[in-house]
Chain A
Amino acid sequence: MANPALAKTRRFDTVAVMFSLSANKRVIEALAELGRITLLAREAVLSLLKGRASWRDLLYQIYFIGVKSQSVVLITGAFTGMVLAAQTYIQFHKVKMDTATLAVVGVSMCSELGPVLTALMVAGCVGAAMAAEIGTMRVTEQIDALRALATHPVDYLVVPRLIAAHIALPLLTVEAIFIGILGGYFVSVNLLDIEPTYLLANMLKYTHQADLVIGLIKAFIYGGVIALIGCYKGMTCRLGAEGVGQATTEAVVYASITILIANFFLTLVMGKLVGLL
């Protein structure tokens, strides 16, 4: 007669083995994907160094990324600055540090919230659009047509988007930082009745050039992350409408996660480098 306890243990072992195999497969697939993205980045850098991309395509992509993300970046920046000012005031008012409100907004917007939120918004708009556009081109044989017309898809599709994102992201970040601080100033002065002279003086005193530089370096890196993942997902998407949809979703999710993880390490590394940590 079968031992029920033994049977249960065997079942558990089988499930554990299957789970372990599935986990191994996932890790291998994730590493393989990382390798393929790295190879794409390498090909893009080589193409860039040899000047194979066209200026015309690059300008169009800068315009496309800038215009497409304009409103969303401005709204995000403004309301983040405003809510940050309100929240900081609520805490600082308890210890009579009201006039330091805009300093917190300034530092946070420059080094963290400006680049990260801008990048997340751009990943949602532009990264998704890149994956969808390139994915549709793949499904409708337009990428094969490019290749048949003796054009390397990386030269034509990836490099202009990559450079454009590297250029546009810092510009959009500056815009988000500026509008965020402006929003914070507006809330502090008009709604919270904080003295503007001390508010601005403290902001200028505690917000250093290094904060802005860190923010811009981060934005530059995130631009590359968004473009590279968006292009990669588009170029490798499965055929059919479902494949394009999945590629679009994955482009946004992967880019967002990468940005958030990278942000932590960049903050640590750059903070050490400029002596803030």
Chain B
Amino acid sequence: MIEVRDLQKSFGAQLVLDSVGFRIENGESVAIIGRSGSGKSVLLKHLIGLLQPDTGEVLIDGENIVPMNERQLLRVRRKFGMLFQGAALFDSMTVAENVAFGLRRYEHLTEAEIGQRVAGALEMVDLPGTENKKPAELSGGMRKRVGLARAIIYEPQIVLYDEPTTGLDPIVSDSIDQLMVRVRDQLKVTTVMVTHDMRTARRIGQRVLMLHDKKIYASGTADEIFASQDPVVRQFIDGVADPKENLP
């Protein structure tokens, strides 16, 4: 279970998140939507302790991770798998080494067992036989799949997705969506996804939180949010630019 209470974060003089609070139950699938620069990724990084809030609490299974130091956080982070916006694959390693990274460091397995688990994870993300490729040889969509395989190979309880479909064409985005649904349903993980892709949010998010003006502005099931008549929510879902904000 993830619970965020009164979270506030600023970078220098710029306040990014103000009194943000929500709760995500085990096994739930939540999409956090909001405009670019609204602090979605910043919020996601707080959930895994990659950023420290100025004030507020982040509770993972009832344990507040905010006062923890980097070493104490490592224990909590083993519950998480995270897919980064740019996949963040380790350039110097092959696909297999990337995917096996978590296994090698924390599970005492033989090389054969690691090989099997890696092949299984790559099979799950529809990338069998790519073990020996380097990240530089992969397309954007393939990199995200490898990033996902790396995030799920040690069977975490919670998977975080940071803009999983950003920068991908609609067909690849669709395949990533299907993959996320597969991971959610097969591994029974809690899913938290940050996106501004409405189709992805609707398909993956059983519940949708909208971040606006530094706060959680709207919260509800995907159907409720998409049927909302609130002008701010409506504007975002319909993708209509505010005439006052037109670029020069």
Chain A residues in contact with chain B, CB under 8 A?
54, 133, 136-137, 140-142, 144-145, 147-152
What is the minimal beta-carbon distance from A258 to any residue of chain B, in angstroms?
26
What is the minimal beta-carbon distance from B128 to any residue of chain A, in angstroms?
23
Q: What are the nearest 10 A-B pairs in CB distance?
A: A145-B88, A141-B88, A148-B82, A150-B77, A150-B78, A150-B74, A149-B102, A141-B84, A142-B88, A144-B50
- What are some 18 contacts across the A-B interface (CB < 8 A)? A54-B105, A133-B92, A136-B91, A140-B86, A141-B84, A141-B85, A141-B86, A141-B88, A144-B84, A145-B90, A147-B50, A147-B73, A148-B82, A149-B101, A150-B75, A151-B105, A152-B70, A152-B71
| Secondary structure class of chain B's binding surface, majority of residues | mixed
Q: How far is the CA of A145 from the CA of B146 in the complex (A)?
A: 13
Residue among B74, B86, B88, B160 making CB contact with A152, cutoff 8 Å: B74
Interface residues of B in 63-94 (CB under 8 A from A): 70-71, 73-75, 77-78, 80-82, 84-86, 88-92
Chain B 39-55, CB-CB to A under 8 Å as 1, else 0, gives: 00000010011100000
Q: Which residue of B lies closest to A46 (CB)?
A: B71
Q: How far is the CA of A36 from the CA of B73 in the complex (A)?
A: 20
Chain B CB within 10 Å, residue with most, of A137, A140, A145: A145
B145 within 8 A of A: no
* Chain B neighbourhood of A147, CB < 8 A: 49-50, 70, 73, 77
Chain B residues in contact with chain A, CB under 8 A?
45, 48-50, 70-71, 73-75, 77-78, 80-82, 84-86, 88-92, 101-102, 105-106, 150-151, 160
* Chain B neighbourhood of A140, CB < 8 A: 86, 88, 91
What is the minimal beta-carbon distance from A227 to any residue of chain B, in angstroms?
17
Q: How far is the CA of A90 from the CA of B85 in the complex (A)?
A: 65
Q: How far is the CA of A54 from the CA of B101 in the complex (A)?
A: 12
Whether the pair A144, B88 counts as a contact (CB closer than 8 A) is: yes
Residue among B45, B91, B106, B150 making CB contact with A150, cutoff 8 Å: B106
Q: How far is the CA of A144 from the CA of B82 in the complex (A)?
A: 10
What is the minimal beta-carbon distance from A164 to any residue of chain B, in angstroms?
15
A144-B88, A149-B105 known; 18 new pairs, CB 8 Å cut-off, are: A136-B91, A137-B90, A141-B84, A141-B85, A142-B88, A142-B91, A144-B84, A145-B82, A145-B88, A147-B70, A147-B77, A148-B48, A148-B80, A149-B101, A150-B74, A150-B78, A152-B71, A152-B74
* Chain A neighbourhood of B48, CB < 8 A: 148
Whether the pair A148, B50 counts as a contact (CB closer than 8 A) is: yes
* Chain B neighbourhood of A142, CB < 8 A: 88-91
* Chain B neighbourhood of A137, CB < 8 A: 90
Q: How far is the CA of A241 from the CA of B102 in the complex (A)?
A: 29
Q: Which residue of A lies closest to B150 (CB)?
A: A149
What is the minimal beta-carbon distance from B14 to any residue of chain A, in angstroms?
15
Chain B CB within 10 Å, residue with most, of A140, A141, A142: A141
Q: Which residue of A lies closest to B160 (CB)?
A: A148
Q: Which residue of A lies closest to B73 (CB)?
A: A147
